[in-house]
Amino acid sequence: MTLQNVQNKTNVKKVLAVLTVGILLGTTGTLFKQAYGERELTADQLKQCEYLYFNFKKFGEREFIYRYSFKSFINECIKLYNDPEWTFVGKDKIDKYYEKQDAAKTAEQTATPTEVQVTITQKYKIGETRYVISFEACTETSRTQALFLIHSDIDKFIATSQKLIPKDSCSTYWTNVYAKLPDSIGIQYVKDLDKYPNLLKKEV
């Protein structure tokens, strides 16, 4: 046998060895993928994924997996849920329902506290430094408790009333205020009464 023939046989063996390793690795990868990766759902399992989609949207992915981890195919359901191309009859209604729910939650979280507009409508001087004022409080949201900070250059107190401010309407109130300068009399709605623990409170 010539040296050339020996080298050729050696090269052939190397090529066969490489091909064998490649085939083995490919087969192992395929088996691994089948065992631990994607798997084909049965018709019944697919139907269950569709049925459980509502709860997936309701609980969120983490809570959903915790609740349904006993189902061997639940991870395949999750893959479907996260696939924007996947759909079934009725899915769009579920998506729209939870879009509205999410929008409502967002609006509630970002909503500003109830806004109340307060305007002094009249001032009557009844003494050297004593005035009677009337003021109007309006709101467009919901019935609101009447709490007001009234102040002047020499007076300051919290005005309260059992008469609520009605929704989409106004209420009128009267009270006495002491002031040297009538233009110093001001009023504002109080959202948090705890900010003024030491101020005198008067019923109006």
The CA distance from 166 to 203, in Å, is 18
The region that residue 168 occupies, defined by phi over 0 for left and psi between -120 and 50 for alpha, beta otherwise, is left
Do 97 and 127 have their domain in common?
A: no
The CATH number of the domain holding residue 163 is 2.60.40
Secondary structure (DSSP) of 109-145: HHPPPPP-EEEEEEEEE-SSSEEEEEEEEEESSS-EE
Which pLDDT score, from 0 to 100, does residue 14 have? 52
Q: What is the pTM of this model?
A: 0.44
Do 9 and 33 have their domain in common?
A: yes
Which pLDDT score, from 0 to 100, does residue 114 have? 53
**Count of domains in the chain?**
2
Domain limits at 50? 3-109
Do 73 and 154 have their domain in common?
A: no
Which pLDDT score, from 0 to 100, does residue 118 have? 92
Q: Average pLDDT of each block of 10 consecutive residues along the chain (204 residues)?
A: 49 49 41 46 94 92 92 94 94 91 68 73 93 91 84 93 85 94 92 86 88
